[in-house]
Homo-oligomer: A and B are copies of this chain.
Amino acid sequence: MHSNNPSLPEAKQTIENAIHSGRMTLIVGECSIKYMGRAGSKLSNGERLIIIKQDGSFLVHQNQKMNPVNYQPPGCIFQLSIENEMTKSKETTGPEETTGSENNQNCETELKLSSIRRKPKEKIEVIFKTISFVSTHKMHDNQSIRLFGSENQLSELLLSDLHLIEKGLVPVKKEQVMKKGTVDIMAKDSHGRLVVIELKRRKAELNAVSQLSRYVEETKKLKNTQVRGILVAPEITPGAQKYLERENLEFFKLDFSIGNPSAKINGLESKQKTLFE
């Protein structure tokens, strides 16, 4: 269902019906936006796209950037109301005679769309001056995305190929839960020393080293033994490299990108491909 240049009351009705029936609602219109909650924001008048989803997600997009300019996560509720100058005046200064409304009866009328989140308490108010477009869609879709190459998956792959990193490296407690606490992979080297392995699917930065360092320290205290730490990532920043060396930790370069011929990881790549195809 869709309508072009609907009146604000028409739009209100359409949107309410759509929300009620779980249809995705798209609105394009000239609006100003206010947000108050964990933080606050204001956006002056302009044309934007508003999206209301079945699960109560709420998005406001400008015609640029990937991320919405305002948003609410799933679960919020919506309120719609027609407001006009007379109403507003009444509320604030009492009834007045309408002025300047001869040219356009709607020029002072606005549609307010509020989306409210309970916890934390947050509210977005979209004040539409005009709506150029509303459409609603049933959106039949029972599929879920399958993602390949997440850190978790790479970790699994790496477990069976630990020798890629170092000869003689074996998982601690073979075929058992690796994720001890927050450590990605726990292993033992050929000298029987514990090795904590932190995996990053992208260029490792300072905080990755901080993390590994923390894990190593905790493991040392817990096991009361010497513990090595290896950071596995496709790249590392200079600062992180220096920090790593100061902490006596190690780096192993490993590229994970899918479908990239330059990522010639023995065995790993083919396994990824197999999973992906």
> What residue in chain B is nearest A46 (Cβ atoms)?
B141
A141 near B48: Cβ-Cβ < 8 Å: yes
Tell me, rounded to whole Å, the shortest Cβ–Cβ distance linking A223 to chain B.
17
Judge if A259 is at the interface, Cβ distance under 8 Å. Answer: yes
The answer to whether the Cβ of A206 comes within 8 Å of any Cβ in the partner chain is yes
B residues in contact with A213, CB < 8 Å: 210
Q: Hey, which chain B residues are within 8 Å of A144, CB to CB?
A: 43
Would you call A82 an interface residue if the criterion is a C-beta within 8 Å of the partner chain's C-beta atoms?
no
Residues of B within 8 A of A256 (CB): 38
Task: Please choose the segment from A145-153, A164-172, A184-192 that sits at the chain B interface, where 4 or more of its residues have CB less than 8 A away.
Answer: A145-153
Q: Check A38/B70 contact, CB under 8 A, given A135-B135, A211-B210.
A: no
A271 CB within 8 Å of chain B: no
Contact partner of A66 among B28, B42, B71, CB < 8 A? B71
- Contacting B at CB under 8 A, from A13-42, are 22, 24, 26, 28, 33, 36-42
Contact call B132/A137, Cβ cutoff below 8 A: yes
Contact of A139 among B57, B63, B73, B141 (CB under 8 A): B63
B140 and A46 contacting across the interface, CB-CB below 8 Å: yes
- The answer to whether the Cβ of A69 comes within 8 Å of any Cβ in the partner chain is yes
Let me know if A62 and B2 touch, CB within 8 A. no
Structural contact, B146 and A43, CB atoms closer than 8 A: yes
Point out the residue from B36, B38, B141, B145 that lies within 8 Å of A63, measured CB to CB. B141
Pair A137/B257 contact, Cβ less than 8 Å: no
Residue interface bits A66-101, CB-to-B below 8 A is 1, else 0: 100111111000000000000000000000000000
Q: CB of A193 within 8 A of chain B?
A: no
B141 contacts A41, C-beta separation under 8 Å: no
Q: Give the complex CA separation of A49 and B59 in angstroms.
A: 13
Contact B148 A41 (CB under 8 A): yes
The interface residues of chain B lying within 8 Å CB-to-CB of A2 are: 2, 4, 133, 135
A sample of 5 more A-B contacts (CB under 8 A), given A38-B201, A42-B276, is: A36-B276, A40-B148, A57-B66, A120-B257, A135-B135
The 5 sampled A-B contact pairs (Cβ below 8 Å) are A37-B259, A49-B51, A53-B65, A64-B74, A66-B71
